[in-house]
Chains A and B, each alone.
Chain A
């Protein structure tokens, strides 16, 4: 079995458009949440959102590449450029080797709706243009990036709701561990346009604390009232340890555990048992005891039921070992399909730079979060092993463990 390491990362999010900006935001507990009045006018119950600027890729990508790329694909492209650069992977390497891509994405609402609106109006499918079909498929991110970077290895999209990005990394880890691939570009991408989150807003799952956007996302806090939708993309370059050493690559961390489970229950109501099984499986895969985990980047999205159930699951598995815990969604909002990948980037940045990012807005615990060791303000702490949780609709759970080497 191969060891699997991280040799590059890229991030494009509401708290920064590259690793340097994001590291500063995490260190200083800066929120990326704003109130967007146009979402209210559109019909949203909540106008809160993570503000992500849409990049202009003219000059970076040719026309053909740009017209097949939807919003979240643009974010994923930029995150991947940053990650490949850090990993020192160039076009020549990708030409000579069978590098793969496994990326999380679970919607592409805007191009679907806009294309069908054109067909409805003009009664002629050709008028959607040649790029539409490539933007409207759920595999849009992997099909576009595999084409742009001329990848020759494994190539498919993982759709697993808000655990998509985490499962993508978990699968990439297994592809490399078992020797099927030497290098896989993993990650998660999330669109944030008005069409993408309207059906989620319909469930009254979003915070309506609109008077103070930066304080709206408050995972584990007693007075939380829902999540704040957000987006962007995060890319992780996973590589076999031997390949990284051979190339002389800078190793940022080693993926040592992947756990997964399905709740076997309700489509949206969380459980304690499902996440607990995922946590135990990740620990077993990593051959670690609960007390070995120094920091947990929680899934906690700021919903009343979700955070309570995760707190119970963590307490059940980790009990008295009390690892440091924070939910970076307190700053970023819920990056959904991207979150499982971005939160690996955030946690590796903490591990590299000797701090734990705060769970901002955690002012008063509830009965369940009171039992956890939640980091309220930025903490100077060297961590060498962390775990990151991601859960999604349908009861899908994923837990990843990464260590410093």
Chain B
């Protein structure tokens, strides 16, 4: 399973969105209806699925799903032990 598919799967599961609404250019926060509390849960699902700890502040600059895939990929490439 590619990283995009893995991310889409856990986002669909956690935030209960229609998979058909997810595309690389779609607006991440709008589609997932994210508020500040949801950022906390995004941190949790990333840790559970990839074993990396991220800072919710990082999400502020992410706009599209592609931004999110790129962010996760870059964090995995510089993965530090958790």
Total interface residues in chain A, CB < 8 Å = 12
**A129–B14 CA distance with the chains assembled, in angstroms:** 12
Are B37 and A126 in contact (CB-based, < 8 A)?
no
Q: Is B38 an interface residue (CB 8 A)?
A: yes
| CB-defined contacts of B40 to chain A, threshold 8 Å | 126, 129-130
Q: Please, how many angstroms separate the alpha-carbon atoms of A124 and B16 in the complex? A: 26
- A124 contacts B38, CB within 8 Å? no
Asked whether A127 lies within 8 Å of B41 as measured between CB atoms, the reply is no
A127 vs B46: C-alpha distance in the bound complex, in angstroms? 10
Does B15 touch A at the CB level, under 8 Å?
yes
Give the residues from 1 to 55 in chain B that come closer than 8 angstroms, CB to CB, to chain A.
15-16, 37-38, 40-41, 43-44, 47, 53
A131 to chain B, nearest CB (A): 8
Q: How far is the CA of A128 from the CA of B48 in the complex (A)?
A: 11
For B43, list chain A residues within 8 Å (CB).
126-127
Q: Which B residues are CB-close (under 8 A) to A120?
A: none
CB of B19 to closest CB in A, whole Å: 16
**Closest residue of chain B to A63, judged by CB?**
B16
| 8 Å CB contact of B37 from A58, A124, A127, A130 | A130
Q: A58, A67, A122, A124: which contacts B41 (Cβ < 8 A)?
A: A67
Per the bound structure, the CA–CA distance linking A67 and B38 in Å amounts to 11
> Which A-chain residue is minimally distant from B14 (CB atoms)?
A63
Q: Report B57 CB to chain A, min CB distance, Å.
A: 12
Nearest-neighbour CB distance to chain B for A121, whole angstroms, equals 11
Q: Does A64 contact B (CB under 8 A)?
A: yes
User: CB distance A127 to B47 under 8 Å?
Assistant: yes
Complex-state Cα separation, A122 to B16, whole angstroms: 26
Structural contact, B47 and A130, CB atoms closer than 8 A: no
Nearest to A126 among chain B residues (CB) is B43
For residue B55, which residue of chain A has the nearest CB? A126
Contacts of B37 in A (CB 8 A): 64, 130
Residues of B contacting A58 with CB < 8 Å? 16
Residues in A129-182 with C-beta less than 8 Å from chain B: 129-131
Interface centre among A67, A126, A127 (most CB of B within 10 A): A126
Contact with B along A179-215 (1 / 0, CB 8 A): 0000000000000000000000000000000000000
A130 to B47, CA, bound (A): 14
Q: How far is the CA of A126 from the CA of B82 in the complex (A)?
A: 14
Given A63-B15, A63-B16, verify A129-B41 contact (CB < 8 Å).
Answer: yes
Sampled A-B contacts (24; CB under 8 Å):
A58-B16, A63-B15, A63-B16, A64-B37, A67-B41, A122-B47, A122-B82, A124-B53, A126-B40, A126-B43, A126-B44, A126-B56, A127-B43, A127-B44, A127-B47, A128-B44, A129-B40, A129-B41, A129-B44, A130-B37, A130-B38, A130-B40, A130-B41, A131-B41
For the complex of A and B, the 8 pairs showing the least CB-CB separation, nearest first, are A130-B40, A130-B37, A129-B44, A63-B16, A130-B41, A129-B41, A126-B43, A127-B44
Given known contacts A126-B40, A126-B43, A129-B41, what 4 new A-B pairs fall within 8 Å (CB)?
A: A58-B16, A67-B41, A130-B37, A130-B38
